[in-house]
Amino acid sequence: MSRIEYISQVVKEHYAFLENERIAEKAGISVHQVRRLATKMGLRKNKEFLDKKREKVKQAQREYYRKRIKPLSPSIEQLSIIYGSLLGDGTLSRGPRSQHYAYKEHFSEKQRAYREWKQEKLSTLGFHITHSNHLYSYSHPLFSELYTHFFPDGVKIIPPKLLAQMTHPLFLATLYLDDGSLILSKRKTPSMLVLHPTIVIYTQCFTHDENEMLKSHINNTFDTNFVVASRPDGHGFILKLNKEHEVQHFLRIIQPVTDDLPSMKYKTCLHERLELEQRNKTDSNVQVRLTSSEKRQNYSEEEINCLLELHQKGMTWSEIATTLNRTYWSVIQKAREIHLAQKEAP
C-alpha cells in the first residue's frame, strides 16, 4: 500500500468520529491536509460527534465565564433595598445569551432622583442607570439565586424563606416608595378643610394569603397595624393603614431613609402635603388641618352631653362635627357607642 493510499484510508476510516488533530497524527500529515482531503473525498463529521464537541466548547465557555465572575457580598442594607424593590417595581430577567439573571427596573423621569439614590446605594453590586430610564444590574449568580425565591414558577411571589431577612427599615421604605401612596381624603365645611391620611401599599399582584403573610410580618417587625383591604384589580387585595396616628408612626419609621429623598416628600411628609393644600385652597378663611386619632378616642363628658343636646335640637351630624371640631365619622362612631350604651342600660 502506497503512502497516499494509507493516508486516504486513515482519513476515510476515522474522519466521522475522531478529531482532526488525532487523524493528522495517525496519518502523519497536517490538520489542514486532513480537512482538504476529507473535502475532496466528500466526508462529513458524525452528528453525535459534533454534538459532543459543541457541548465541550460550551462547558469550556461556562468554566471560563465562571472564573471571571467577581463574587458579590451585598450588605444587609443593600439586600433590604433589593428585597423591597423586588416586591415593588423591580424584576429579574435573563438575556438570550446570558447564563445568569440580572436585576431590571423601569422608571419615569419624575422619579429619576429616587432611582439614582438606589443606584448609588447599590453601585458596588454593579447597578447602573441607562439612557432609557432603566435601573440594571449585571447578570450574576446572586440574582439567579434570588430568582428561585421570587419567581419559582416564573411568577413573582412573596418568598416565605426570605421574609425573616426583611427586617431593616430600608426594606419597608423601598417597598413603600416603589408601590405605596400617601392618600389624603377631604371633608370640607364652610370654615374647615379636614384631611384624613391613609397609607396604601399596592400589593394587588400578590394573593390574599401572601398579603396576609406580608401584613403579619410587617406588623410584627415594625409595630405597625396594616390591614388587608380589597381592590378591584389584580388579585384584589392591598395593604392599608387607616388611622392618623398609625400613618404618623409609619412615616417616622422610614424617616431616616426618606430624609435623603426630598423628591419623594409627596409620599413621606404630611407637613409638606398640608402646606400644599393650604397654598391651593381658594378661600383664605378656610383652615386646613389633619384629623386626630387622639381626639376621636377621647371624648369628654361635656362633649358627649353637647353631642346629645345638638342632636336633640335637630342639627345634622356634619353640623355637630363642625361645632365639636371633630371629624364626621368620629361623631358618627361616638353617637353609635352612646346609643348602644343607652340601649344596654337597665
pLDDT for the residue 341: 45
Q: Is 296 helix (H, G, I), strand (E, B) or coil?
A: helix
Straight-line distance from the first to the last Cα atom of the chain, in angstroms, rounded to the nearest whole number: 126
Helix (H) or strand (E) holding 93: strand 91-93
- Percentage of the chain modeled with pLDDT above 90: 55
Helices and strands in the chain, H and E counts: 16, 9
Higher confidence at residue 57 or residue 182? 182
The mean pLDDT of 251-256, rounded to a whole number, is 95
The three cell numbers of residue 10 are 486513515
**What residues contact residue 109 under an 8 Å CB cut-off, 6+ apart?**
133
pLDDT for the residue 8: 87
Q: What is the residue type of 204? A: Q
Contact 135, 127 (CB under 8 A): yes
- Give the model's confidence band at 108: pLDDT under 50 very low, under 70 low, under 90 confident, else very high: very high
**Mean pLDDT estimate for the chain:** 89
The three cell numbers of residue 164 are 425573616
The pTM assigned to this predicted structure is: 0.69
The tens digit of pLDDT for each residue in 195-241 reads 889 999 999 999 999 999 999 999 999 999 999 999 999 999 999 99
Contact 257, 251 (CB under 8 A): no
Which H, E and C letters describe 255-292, residue by residue?
HHHHCCCHHHHHHHCHHHHHHHHHHHCCCCCCEEEECC
Number of C-alpha atoms within 13 angstroms, CB side, residue 50? 6
